[in-house]
């Protein structure tokens, strides 16, 4: 499988604090890769560097072979990467429909087409009943789904999900997992997800990358990685044995 996303030796410091150190990994086209690790390991920083929110001090990011490091977030989005925020950022005063529509405009040439696309995606995410409600009135799980819907509406080749299952009930988690599986299978959507809910990570991922203290300490198939003593020690804990 060819790599859709290649992260090559990125480092990032915040005034002396080394958040990422020489991080490299590949996300093959059509795969679902989980990015896991303890809090403060640098997962979100890594997302922000890929999405163009922060600029890496060193290293390269390539999407389908083309360098995208140093690009602005909107350019990265137009290049084909959709992302969600860990701390959800809905357009609070706009309706669910309008929220998703804004994302869909990235993929559509007219407002009319974007409205149709947004409607479909709202349906897929199970938000149809809420399409007229303002985002500020949604519950947290609904906001998480809205966050996914908006990112998905931009028509990405790679979808980056930052803890979208956190705070969801198990049935809701299963619903999300099923949705991502479908998107992956039907549209060939590549997904990179940061997730603490191991139940979801294990159900979805074809590969795992483990970050700790800003470094990749393990990468490979889920079964292999979760059995790695270093991973168990720093993240999953002894009981996972």
Which residues bind to another protein, rule: CB under 8 A? 51, 53, 72-74, 77-78, 83, 85, 89-95, 98, 101-103, 105-106, 111, 134-137, 150-151, 153-154
72 versus 199: smaller Cβ distance to another protein: 72
**Cβ 78 to another protein, closest distance in Å?**
5
53 versus 179: smaller Cβ distance to another protein: 53
**Cβ 18 to another protein, closest distance in Å?**
24
**Cβ 64 to another protein, closest distance in Å?**
17
88 versus 210: smaller Cβ distance to another protein: 88
CA distance 67 to 125: 32
**Cβ 220 to another protein, closest distance in Å?**
30
**Cβ 132 to another protein, closest distance in Å?**
8
12 versus 130: smaller Cβ distance to another protein: 130
66 versus 230: smaller Cβ distance to another protein: 66
């Amino acid at each position: 499988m060819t790599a859709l996303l290649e992260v090559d030796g990125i480092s990032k410091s915040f005034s002396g604090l080394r958040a990422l150190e020489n991080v490299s990994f590949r996300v093959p086209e059509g795969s679902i890769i989980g990015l896991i690790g303890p809090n403060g390991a640098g997962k979100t920083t890594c997302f922000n560097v890929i999405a163009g929110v922060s600029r890496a001090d060193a290293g390269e990011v390539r999407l389908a072979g083309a360098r995208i490091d140093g690009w602005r977030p909107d350019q990265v989005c137009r290049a084909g990467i959709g992302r969600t925020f860990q701390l959800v950022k809905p357009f609070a005063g706009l309706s669910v429909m309008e929220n998703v529509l804004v994302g869909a405009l990235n993929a559509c040439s007219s407002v009319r087409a974007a409205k149709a696309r947004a409607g479909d995606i709202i349906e897929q995410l199970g938000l149809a009943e809420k399409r007229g409600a303002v985002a500020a009135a949604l519950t947290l799980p609904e906001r998480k789904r809205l966050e996914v819907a908006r990112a998905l509406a931009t028509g990405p080749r790679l979808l980056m999900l930052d803890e979208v299952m956190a705070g969801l009930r198990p049935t809701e988690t299963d619903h999300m997992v099923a949705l991502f599986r479908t998107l992956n299978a039907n549209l060939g959507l590549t997904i990179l997800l940061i997730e603490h809910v191991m139940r979801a990570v294990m159900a979805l991922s074809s590969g795992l990358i483990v970050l700790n203290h800003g470094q990749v300490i393990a990468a490979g198939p889920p079964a292999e990685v979760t059995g790695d003593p270093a991973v168990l020690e720093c993240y999953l804990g002894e009981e996972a044995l």
